[in-house]
Amino acid sequence: MAVSSTADRGRQGNFEDNVNAYFSHAATFCKRAPGLLEQIRVCNSVYAFSFPVRHADGSIEVVHAWRAEHSHHKLPTKGGIRYSPQVDESEVKALAALMTYKCALVDVPFGGAKGAVQIDPARYTVEQLERITRRYTHELDRKQFIGPGIDVPAPDYGTGEREMSWIADTYSQLHTGELEALACVTGKPVTEGGIYGRREATGRGLMFALAEACRSADDMRALGLSTGLEGKRLVVQGLGNVGYHAAKFCREQGAIIVALAEREGAIHNPKGLNEDEVFNFRKRTGSLLGFPGATDILRSADALELECDVLVPAALENVLTSENAARIKARIILEGANGPTTPEADAVFRKKSIMVIPDVFANAGGVTVSYFEWLKNLSHVRLGRMDRRRQAATELRMLQAIEVATGKPFTEAERQKFVKVTDELAIVNSGLEDTMIVAYQDIREALRTEPKMGDLRTAAFKRAIDKVAVVYEELGIFP
């Protein structure tokens, strides 16, 4: 299996070391005092705790959990909650650090954080998962590790809207009358204060990131590829929230999904796969193997080495390592997961001139739309509610003025195209697209200015470090 088992970690160095290695390399391009760089790198606080869970037979199991707040240079801190049997404190710290750099890159005014419970959700009933989630929230609350202005969790591997809803409810129960209580967590269902577009935001953001990278004729020529997403052959690992939506939005823009990889194996069809059909087939049969018209790949990780243009690892960390890097045939690696590439593999990709669009930027769509959700919760109003009709009326008046000036009326179809009552989803997607484009150009420009950095990841880390450094310098040191 390609997941980061303990054995893998031993071989490839641990995830936290990998993030620190990327940081240290980029820091050599930042003209900052060593002490300041160290303050940016270290994790500010970690809360580690354990609590019991009762099973149906009366037995008691102790589960371990964490919340790491990597940087308090901006508050609240922000980051997902992971439910995984393999997770440990070091992994949580690595993920929290990535959140700090990610938020800085996309100008989301939060420090980085991450949380985890060391469980395999598949082994528990829904009722047990609810109790675990509520107890976890209560523990965070007791130590002031959650709150709209303190630390705001979100979904990550193994959690989703359901868990976020339980967190919001638990926090609200503990803070009766707190007007902004719903802003204590993002990624909630829309009916519980969530925002349209959050569920699919990370995958949509990945598509925007790839589209922007593929817009540059020079960069694509250097990779031997044409511009645009049309016809690009993608291999996607992980058919969860991030992988499914990345596949969907890229396919809708004309890309061809030639392979999909999950825990049990992978399937390959050079003519293209529809992620929705595969998802439903897997739900029905319990496996994606045997999907009509596709070839089965029994060792899931082998799919990473297939002939393709873009490889999208969207499951877990440490899947592209020194062991398989030389056999990767993709020309672009779009990191949906956090930490899928080890520094050893990264060096191989640099040598092979493979473009790596790094996690720290590529999967920032989730936190970007989480930020929009947090703003919505604080303002207590749906985006666009106050002025969307007014805007549509302005557009209509402009159209009518053009009709009078030209003496030519627009057709009904033209009217509908130009005069739109914008809904929340359209506003969210527009903000997300703009964020991803601006951040990509910022990183690309940094690399253009200093080509010695060699790759987009180093440029992204350098930009993030510089942005956090400025804030620390302006803040000074307390006391």
Q: Of 166, 139, 131, 116, whose CA–CA distance to 60 is shortest?
A: 131
Nearer to ligand NAD by Cβ, of 161 and 212: the residue is 161
How near is the Cβ of 24 to ligand NAD at its closest, in Å?
A: 22
Nearer to ligand NAD by Cβ, of 154 and 383: the residue is 154
Provide the edge-to-edge strand list for the sheet that holds 265-268. Answer: 295-297, 265-268, 256-262, 233-237, 310-313, 332-334, 355-357
Q: Which residues bind ligand NAD (CB under 6 A)?
A: 1-3, 80, 155-158, 202, 237-243, 261-263, 300, 314-316, 336-338, 363, 366
Q: Which position's Cβ is nearest ligand NAD?
A: 240
332-334 and 310-313 as β-strands: parallel, antiparallel, unpaired?
parallel
Tell me, yes or no, if 351 is annotated catalytic.
Answer: no
Residue with tokens 């204060």: 193
How near is the Cβ of 80 to ligand NAD at its closest, in Å?
A: 6
Using a 10 angstrom Cβ sphere, with 0-12 exposed, 13-18 middle and 19 or more buried, the burial of residue 54 is exposed
Whether a cis peptide bond, with omega within 30° of 0, leads into 109 is no
Rg (the chain; Cα; Å): 23
**Which residue type is seen at 271?**
K
Q: Is residue 39 a contact partner of residue 472, using CB atoms and an 8 Å limit? A: yes
Q: Of 230, 202, 220, 447, whose CA–CA distance to 312 is shortest?
A: 202
How near is the Cβ of 83 to ligand NAD at its closest, in Å?
A: 8
Nearer to ligand NAD by Cβ, of 109 and 160: the residue is 160
Nearer to ligand NAD by Cβ, of 27 and 261: the residue is 261
Structure tokens at 439: 């951040």
Catalytic hit among 114, 188, 248, 467: 114
**Which residue type is seen at 346?**
D
DSSP letters, 308-373, are -SEEEE-S-SS-B-TTTGGG---SEEE--SSS-B-HHHHHHHHHTT-EEE-HHHHTTHHHHHHHHH
Residues designated as active site: 114
